[in-house]
Amino acid sequence: VARARVHMAGNDERTYIMVKPDGVQRGLVGQIIGRFEQRGYQLKGLKLMQPTEALLRQHYNELVTKAFFPRLLEYMLSGPVCAMVWEGKGVVATGRMMLGATNPQASAPGTIRGDYCIDVGKNICHGSDSVENAEREIGLWFSADELLSWTPHSRPWLYE
């Protein structure tokens, strides 16, 4: 039992993934969810919502002084987003790899941005860049009762 616990440690890392308004408008929500499901990550929370300016200013608190921030705000306010929490071993770093580079032109084919978009200001998705930021962002976008605890049947087939 103790050994099993050691092996489980770290498998509960969480990240905040968001399909941005262009991804929702372009009907890419299912494709993006599918990639995280296929990889073996576990869905812990999911909702379609219209973000407010106040929430976006908190979410992007490190970017509010940037020259591109007003356009980013306008973009993120332009329609609903799909907010998600995904859990699993290394999901923060792996999630970023799955998304691709911030600028889609630098994103390799096979990544989400590398397969579905072109411009940095319309890059269809967000993923937390550190475990610490992931927890901060999850706290901003979800209340505790919106995150579910459940046991996926495939877990023993995903983790050694």
Task: Report the interface residues with ligand UDP, using CB under 6 A.
Answer: 63, 68, 72, 102, 120-121, 123, 126, 129
Residue 59 falls in the annotated catalytic set: no
- Which C-beta is closer to ligand UDP: that of 105 or that of 154? 105
Q: Smaller CB distance to ligand UDP: residue 44 or 96?
A: 96
Q: How far is the CB of 160 from ligand UDP (least distance, A)?
A: 31
88: left (phi over 0), alpha (psi -120 to 50) or beta: left
Known binding residue 113? Answer is: yes
CA distance 42 to 87: 5
Per DSSP bridges, beta strands 14-19 and 125-127 are antiparallel
Looking at the DSSP assignment, which residues form a beta bridge with residue 42? 87
- 29 versus 99: smaller Cβ distance to ligand UDP: 99
- Cα(121)–Cα(66) distance, rounded to whole angstroms? 13
Q: Active-site residues: which are they?
A: 126
